[in-house]
Structure 1
Amino acid sequence: MSIRLKFNLVLAVVLLLAAAGAGFYVHGFLQKAAIDEVRHNSQLMMHSAMAIRDYTTELVKPHLDEKLEEKFLPQTVPAYAATETLKRLQNRFPGYEYKEAVLNPTNARDRANEWEERVIQDFRDGKVDLKQEVSGEVGEGMHRALYVARPITIKQPQCMACHSTPAVAPPTMLKIYGEKNGFGWAMNETVGVQVVKVPMFYPLEKARQTFYTVMGALFGSFVLLFVGLNLSLSSLVIEPMARLNLKLEDLATKDFLTDLVNRRRFFERLETEMAAIRVKNSSLSVVMFDIDFFKRINDTFGHDSGDVVLKSTALRVRELLRSSDCAARFGGEEFIILLKETPLDAAMAIAEAVRARIAGTPFDAVGHVSASFGVATWDHKEDSHALIKRADEALYVAKSQGRNCVVQAKEPGAAA
């Protein structure tokens, strides 16, 4: 597994965990903020209703009570005033509702529905403290709303004038609402609840859209971070490491003087090619050669001139080889060539061409130099060391025959 893949896997896991954690936190925060906004709006409506009730009781009703004998004015009733005033908000703010839900109302529109009856009954049964408000959710989807309910408990004696019995109720009121509803109330009795309903869909939808926007921006930032870190990784780590690895590979596998592969790398390549040739049932040859009288060159012209000869020899060899061939400095002034898919006669011809190239052109400061060659072709049975040994033995035969020549190696197992 490459370092880039490891880095990207770790980075992806970290970013996914960060995104999941951030998403969980942001979603919870936005949901809570939306609910808090709904609760704030519900309290605002409830206190607005209470303010309207108080205003009606203190400043409106006293001035109109004297007219009740002539005409009943519902506007003097605090509950009616609060309901009608806040009802006007619904035209501009749909879903915002205020209702004084009563079990036995004077006005039929104020009759409690099923869930409102349950809330009233909880107050009446003592399950909920009368000094507290209760809240909850009703409806689904776009009609999902938060409600806040406050008990309506008879505390003021003047309420009994309209709700005790029809006999004591204002006649003008009876003409409008009749004698069947809104009577029989008692002091300290919880007869209903003030209910405020505030829609939840819009704040929650706003929170959802904000969540998507934040997560989209976060995802975009993570993508930019991912790309930026990968570019930085490439430029600051991977590419320098790749260049360093190439240099280390060269140091480990190449001869520093001739720039040919070294002995260890040559054996690795030879083993690989032998395995491939065995499958293909093709041919493979090696050519080993040695600079003639190289010690005399070093002693006569100096080691620097000897190094020039070695480097120039490597260049002349490389010029004659195919890209599939492999030349190596085997040690000292000794070289070896791997000829892939090359039979013996072709290997002999290539060795002769290399010999002629070395001997035919003089070397700077040294003059003419020659080399002796041994050529062996693999028999698909012997190992790499045995193959090279046969080529080396042929090389020494060339030395003994006067040097500057090419000698074919004997077949494996042949008598010396």
Structure 2
Amino acid sequence: MRLRLTFNLILVAVFVIGILVAGWHYHAQLQRDAMDEVRHNSQVLMETALAIRSYTTDQIKPHLDPLNAERFLPQTVPAFAATETLHRLSDRYPGYVYKESVLNPTNPRDRASEWERSLIEQFRADAGLGELSGIHGDGVEQSMYVARPITIKQGACLACHSTPEAAPATMRAVYGDANGFGWKQDETVGMQLVRVPVLYPLEKARRAFNTFMLSLLAVFALMFAGLNLALERLVIVPMARVNRRLEELATKDFLTDLVNRRRFFERLEVDMAEARIKHLGLSVIIFDLDFFKRINDTFGHDSGDSVLRNTALRVRELLRSSDCAARFGGEEFIILLRETRIDAALAIAEAVRGKIAGAPYEIVGPVSASFGVAEWNHREDARELINRADKALYQAKQDGRNRVVRASDT
């Protein structure tokens, strides 16, 4: 469990760091790409306006100019043509704006706002400034703008904008004499302005980012499950099996499969602590196979080992799951009885003695054992308790073996 927890904590930490770094990098890249797209669209819109102006000047104006003598046709004005054409895009592409913003325009709709006037003044203050761009507005109204100066370079422009008297009468009839005059050669009178909304590309970038992050989370979830499954099958289960085996080797007697001496003392200390707290009875039985050396000498050590194994099996058949039997050393065994007073312990010891002596062992024949039984008095330690039981065992041997003796109380 600790290995799995440590592994998963490291895995989650690596993923969190990785997703933060990847998310930051990808988000920044998407923002840059979105702004590059907006910038590209604004340049395309500006070049489209310039193309319309050029087409109007070269292909439309020469054919319609003769008609202006009778009735002024604004379609012959390149700025009007570009503005009208691109304005029709706004129904399908809201927020895409083209405007020829002028300080003193002939057409009132081209008059510069306060913000546009500030940009025109920058062009007027720096004659070498060819373009301005940036972000304007807030929220859904935020857009990128590109502005280029409108500077009087051709004298033909002054024919309509120098003085009212020089302008065509038909134009003055439409727009009047109050606006659009007084322009001078090489003067920056306004600017061409395009605005492209930032919201759509940024929203697309946000959706792409969310999709990317959800994909990362899904991949991590699958990877997390897969790695945990692999960890379970390839590491934890084999390690648990090895640990159990190591635990058995460290706590069990290899011959009888009972717990060993060290493990018995660990269990005894725990049960004594519980018995002290709950005021419960606790007893131990220690027994020794009689004349075991004679069995080894007569029938060999293999037969002696067989007797030890068979004895352990007979003992285990009589014990509860809460009891603990151990090989204490050589042919000596010990039994821990939880929540058991001395009378019950004596009865169990007698049952074990009868089980051992009741049926002959293969090859060696009848075998007997001598028993010492002691109940814990809640004052002595583990070794003192076992010493009392051991003295009772010694007394059983002195009294003729194959018997159960109760330890004296202290």
TM-score in terms of structure 2 length: 0.98
Q: Give 2:241's match in structure 1, choosing from 243, 251, 256.
A: 243
CA-to-aligned-CA distance 1:318-369 (integer Å, 9 cap, x gap) = 1101111100000000000001111111111100000000000111111110
Q: Does 1:171 align with 2:169?
A: yes
Alignment of 1:13-412 (within 5 A): 13-126=13-126, 129-131=128-130, 133-412=131-410
Cα distance in 2 for residues equivalent to 1:376 and 1:93: 98
Letter in 2 for 1:259: D
Look up the equivalent residue of 1:130 and give its one-letter code. L
For 1:130-149, what per-residue CA distance to the aligned partner results, in whole angstroms no more than 9, with x for missing partners?
32x11122233322211111
SS at the partner of 1:316?
Answer: helix
Residue by residue over 1:31-66, the C-alpha shift from the partner in whole angstroms, topping out at 9 and shown as x without a partner, is: 111111111111111001111111111222222222
Give CA deviations for 1:55-101 in whole Å, capped at 9, x if unaligned.
Answer: 11122222222222222111111101111111111122221110000
Q: Tell me the distance in 2 between the aligned counterparts of 1:410 and 1:59.
A: 130
Give the CA deviation at 1:114: 1.5
Shift, 1:118, TM fit? 0.8
Mapped partners of 1:219, 1:23: distance in 2: 11
In structure 2, what is the Cα distance between the partners aligned to 1:85 and 1:373?
Answer: 114
Q: Distance in 1 between matches of 2:212 and 2:310?
A: 68
C-alpha distance in structure 1 between counterparts of 2:359 and 2:20, whole Å? 74
Q: CA deviation at 1:129?
A: 3.7
The one-letter code of the counterpart of 1:263 is R
Letter in 2 for 1:3: L
CA–CA separation in structure 1 for the residues paired with 2:391 and 2:200: 95
Matched residues in 1 for 2:269 and 2:85: separation? 98
Inter-partner Cα distance in structure 2 for 1:45 and 1:74: 22
Partner AA of 2:269 in structure 1: E
The one-letter amino acid paired with 1:147 is: Y
Amino acid corresponding to residue 9 of structure 2 in structure 1: L
Residues 356-415 of structure 1, C-alpha deviations (whole Å, 9 max, x = no match):
000001111111100000011111111111111111111111111111000111122xxx
Measure the CA separation in 1 of the matches of 2:128 and 2:248. Answer: 87
| CA offsets 1:230-287 (integer angstroms, 9 cap, x no match) | 1111111111111111000000000000000000000111111111111111211110
Query: Residue by residue, what CA displacement relative to the aligned partner does 1:280-321 show, whole Å, maximum 9, x if unpaired?
Result: 112111100000010111111111111111001001101101
Aligned partners of 2:240, 2:273: CA distance in 1, in Å? Answer: 29
Counting matched residue pairs gives 410
Q: Which amino acid aligns with 1:235?
A: R
The letter for the 1-side match of 2:328 is: F
The whole-number CA distance in structure 1 between the counterparts of 2:160 and 2:152 is 12
CA distance in 2, matches of 1:318, 1:287: 13
How far apart, in 2, do the equivalents of 1:9 and 1:130 lie? Answer: 58
CA distance in 2, matches of 1:349, 1:99: 110
**AA paired with 2:234?**
L
Q: Distance in 1 between matches of 2:359 and 2:152?
A: 126
Query: Percentage identity across aligned positions?
Result: 65
Determine the C-alpha separation between the residues in 1 that align with 2:99 and 2:391.
Answer: 114
Inter-partner Cα distance in structure 2 for 1:42 and 1:362: 105
1:289 aligns to what SS in structure 2? strand
Q: Distance in 2 between matches of 1:63 and 1:356?
A: 132
Secondary structure at the counterpart of residue 264 of structure 1:
helix
Amino acid at match of 1:283: G
Amino acid across the alignment from 1:389 = N
CA RMSD of aligned residues (A): 1.1
Aligned-partner Cα distance in 2 for 1:16–1:134: 42
List alignment gaps of at least 5 residues for structure 1: none
Could you tell which deviates more after superposition, 134-143 or 33-42? 134-143
